[in-house]
Structure 1
Amino acid sequence: MPHDDALIITIELAGAVFSKVLIDSGCVANLLSHDTLERINRPDLAINKYAPPLYSVGGGSRVPLLRNIAIVVKTYDLEQETEFSVMHDLSPFDAVLGRPWLQQMKAVPSIYHQCVKFISVRH
């Protein structure tokens, strides 16, 4: 108590398991740390060199992105190809799953319950 911790989950990205993935319903993009991308180490990933910069809310400062990349995200029994914008440093997180992923998964995050709910293919 109180339940105001960040919502951090463990998830599989391109076959590798990462335990510091932030769920952020206020983020307009899915973000991946450059270090995380190097740890995945898969030459077959679809990399798009062009990545338009993000701008922070409030100050409007420019956040440079290195590239965009499509990665398969596995949660429980679902696999979805998801586009990530790669950043130099997301410390202390491996990745941030934002509104695009939440919408794609039809997921509902709950900070109070410390979980993400989504429809599973298992019954």
Structure 2
Amino acid sequence: MDLLRVQIPHEDPLVVSLTVAECLVRRVLVDPGSSVNVMPRDTFDRLEIKLKKLKPTGNPLLGFDGKRVEPIGMVEVEVQAAVRVFKESFVVIEIHPSYNLLMGRGWIHRVQGVPLTLHQVMRCLRPDGNKVIDIHGD
């Protein structure tokens, strides 16, 4: 039943749409392998977040290739996924990825989510903990 919306076979990552800073953002990668949420500078600019909201961070990121990436800063914005809304911190970096945002493990855990790449869905609990919400892949 869960695979009715998905073209099989596939090896696609889980990519969703979320409301971030009151704007719909498409091509958001749900990445349980990432320890942080990442916002490319281009997305930061398109969301029209004021530069004064950036806070310094002294911690570089390590990319897949082992290279260190110096963040521009950290920013905290509201992220809505279905009926769940949280203030999330993002590391803002100067990169040009295929995705507009990367949501890491911390966010996945806060929304009590289970990302299912095969099924192209992330299952989350409602705030009351009684029902499951599905956030479907794009």
- Say whether the fold is shared (TM-score over 0.5): yes
Q: Which runs of 4+ in 1 moved over 4 A?
A: none
Q: Of 26, 40, 44, which residue of structure 2 is paired with 1:37? A: 44
Q: Where does the alignment leave 5 or more consecutive residues of structure 1 unmatched?
A: none
Give 1 or 2 for the bigger CA radius of gyration. Answer: 2
**Distance of 1:90 and 1:98 partners within structure 2:** 18
Structure 1: distance between partners of 2:121 and 2:12: 11
Equivalence for 1:98: 104
% same residue: 23
Does the alignment pair 1:16 with 2:20? no
Give the letter aligned to residue 63 of structure 2: S
Q: 1:42 offset after TM fit, Å?
A: 3.3
User: What TM-score, normalized by structure 1, do the two folds share?
Assistant: 0.88
- Point out the more displaced range, 1-10 or 105-114: 1-10
Residues in 1 aligned to 2:69 and 2:27: alpha-carbon distance in whole angstroms: 21
Deviations along 1:13-35, whole A, 9 cap, x unmatched? 00011111001111111000111
TM-score, length of structure 2 as denominator length: 0.79
Unaligned runs of 5+ in 2: 1-7, 132-138
